[in-house]
Chains A and B, each alone.
Chain A
Amino acid sequence: MTTFKKTGMQTINFDNPPVITSWACLVGPKEGEGPWAKDFDRILADYLFDEDSWEKAENKLLRETVKLALTKQDLQTMEAELLLAGDLLNQTISSNYAARELNIPYLGLYGACSTMAESLLIGAMMIDGGFFNRVVSATCSHHYSAERQFRFPVEQGVQLAASAQWTATAAGAIVLQVKGQGPRVTCATIGRVIDMGVDDTNNMGAAMAPAAVSTIKAHFADKGLNSDYYDLIVTGDLGAVGMNLAKELFVQEGLVPAPNYSDCGVLLYDGLQGVNAGGSGCGCSASMLCGPLLKKMINGELNRLLFVATGALMSPTASFQGETIPGIAHAVAIENA
């Protein structure tokens, strides 16, 4: 008889928690000037990465990150059984082309900036379900390829709103295995699409904050945990505005995750780097997780981490047609054994 692994409304438990055996992250020059430079595997010297377009650079960024994560376990690329990846570009071209080069069986995902959590939780399900032994979950974003798709040409002189965020140039990849050394993915909460009517494309943090709070609330309700269970609850890329909104919403919902609550968008850059409200993009939460956060778990500074990557499901076409911006967030619990 099958035992169901779902608990409560939205949460799934992993009976045989998959192990995060290795991970890697590559970041762009600006991210390398931030406070976490020593925690990233590699900092690119320039945004083109020896390619001739931003899109090709982004594809290479993802490809190299996946390879590096596998190399750390002395694995050949072909030893990976499944690649779960996604990015921000139309038709998720960065991931598709990276998968073409890597030649690993591939499922493409789109969860906007929530992709790191989405790929991680699906990968964990694949392994706990007994379908695969070794899965790679990965995502990436590139500042300039995202700018030209979602906003303006790079050289155009525009003034950004103080609530606008800076799309990170970064990629993160995680190797999940049935057995091995490392932190484990113990459970995950799949988020609902929440739309509170925000239509300001310069304020994505506000569009995503209600989704983040909804998922975190569901996680604690489903698991019956106190909010101090985790050493750190970290949202993906709400930025300064979204994080403040999330804190207000936590109070309204009767949750008290502070002081062990933070946001990757706020953490990734120094305040002086001219990023307005902070970082965003798939690579923002991916590089924070695959850089400083997992390192802190290995060091024992953190033992229980709730990683809540957030995505604004924004489309320029829908926005021009007067649609509001829906948000989504997925939570993944990572714990030391």
Chain B
Amino acid sequence: MYEEKNEALKAAEKQEYKDLVNRVKPKPPLLVNCLWAFGVGGLICLIGQLFLNYLLNIGMNKADAGSATAVIMIFIGALLTGLGVYDKIGEKAGAGSIVPITGFANVIVASAMEFKKEGYIFGVGARIFSIAGPTLLFGFVASVLIGLVALIIK
């Protein structure tokens, strides 16, 4: 009985503190952040679209041009990460630079650079996908499931 009361009191204290923290904690500048994310994310997509249009114009078919554009954008993301620019963009743009395919390149290259000091096997090899791993795993699982569904429907 006494213990129960103690627990309840503690929970109430924690709730009270949580409310205080939420009151004191600075609010993120939501509108500014959204504008940055929209602007930078949009710009990355625009650059991708320009490459796609160019490749289509020089006579590539749609599937090949799409793949080539993805390769180019991944290269740009990786290069900017290596040059130490992408993290500066990410500081401002947030999801605007994380969600596009360049962001995917960023997390893989950043991990590779970070863990190179531990060698190529236990460093780069083992940890290159430490951030991107979940995206890859669940991406593969989803593609298998969708493939199965497509097979059954057919």
A159–B17 touching, CB < 8 Å: no
Is B63 among interface residues, defined by CB-CB distance under 8 A?
A: no
Say yes or no for B93: interface residue by CB 8 A criterion. yes
Please determine whether B113 and A153 come into contact, CB atoms closer than 8 angstroms: yes
Count residues of A near B (Cβ-Cβ below 8 Å). Answer: 28
A155's nearest neighbour on chain B, judged by CB, is B110
Is A196 located at the chain interface by the 8 A CB criterion? yes
B92 in the interface (beta carbon within 8 A): yes
- A196 with B114: CB separation less than 8 A: no
Residues of B within 8 A of A241 (CB): 21, 24-26
Residue among A156, A160, A206 having the largest count of chain B Cβ atoms under 10 Å:
A156
Kindly report which residue of chain B lies nearest to residue A247, judged by CB atoms.
B24
A141 shortest CB reach to chain B, Å = 18
Please indicate which of the listed interface residues B81, B90, B95, B113 has the most CB atoms of chain A within 10 Å of its own CB.
B90
> Which B residues are CB-close (under 8 A) to A153?
107, 110-111, 113-115, 131
Chain B interface size, as a band, is: 35 or more
Label chain B's interface by main secondary structure: helix
Contact A198 B21 (CB under 8 A): yes
Q: Is A248 an interface residue (CB 8 A)?
A: yes
**Contact for B13 among A154, A159, A161, A196, CB less than 8 A:** A196
Taking a contact as CB atoms closer than 8 A, the residue among A52, A162, A240, A245 that contacts B21 in the complex is: A245
Q: Are B26 and A196 in contact (CB under 8 A)?
A: no
Q: Which of A159, A162, A197 is close to B18, meaning CB atoms less than 8 Å apart?
A: A197
> How many angstroms between the C-alpha atoms of A249 and B24 in the bound complex?
12
Q: Are B90 and A156 in contact (CB under 8 A)?
A: yes
A154 nearest CB neighbor, chain B only = B114
- Give the distance to chain A from B100, nearest Cβ to Cβ, in Å: 11
CA distance A259 to B28 in the complex (A): 28
Residues of chain B with a CB closer than 8 A to A206's CB:
21, 24-25
B33 in contact with A196 (CB, 8 Å): no
Q: Which residues of A contact B90 (CB under 8 A)?
A: 156-159
A248 near B14: Cβ-Cβ < 8 Å: no
Q: Which of B13, B33, B81 is in CB contact (< 8 Å) with A155?
A: B81
A155 touches B109 (CB 8 A): yes
Among B28, B98, B117, the residue within 8 A (CB) of A52 is B117
- A132 CA / B154 CA spacing, docked (Å): 83
Interface assignment of A17: CB less than 8 Å from any CB of chain B: no
Say whether A265 faces chain B, with CB atoms less than 8 Å apart.
no
Residues in B lying within 8 Å of A, measured CB to CB: 13-14, 17-18, 20-21, 24-28, 33, 81-82, 84, 86-95, 97-98, 103, 106-107, 109-111, 113-115, 117, 131
27 chain-A/chain-B pairs, Cβ below 8 angstroms: A52-B117, A148-B114, A152-B131, A153-B113, A153-B114, A154-B110, A155-B86, A155-B106, A156-B107, A156-B111, A158-B87, A158-B91, A159-B92, A163-B25, A163-B26, A196-B14, A196-B18, A197-B14, A198-B17, A198-B18, A203-B25, A206-B24, A206-B25, A241-B24, A245-B21, A248-B24, A277-B26
Question: Could you list 16 further interchain pairs (A-B, Cβ under 8 angstroms) beyond the known A152-B131, A153-B114, A157-B97?
Answer: A53-B117, A153-B110, A153-B131, A156-B87, A157-B87, A157-B90, A157-B103, A159-B91, A159-B94, A162-B28, A196-B18, A197-B18, A198-B21, A210-B17, A241-B21, A248-B24
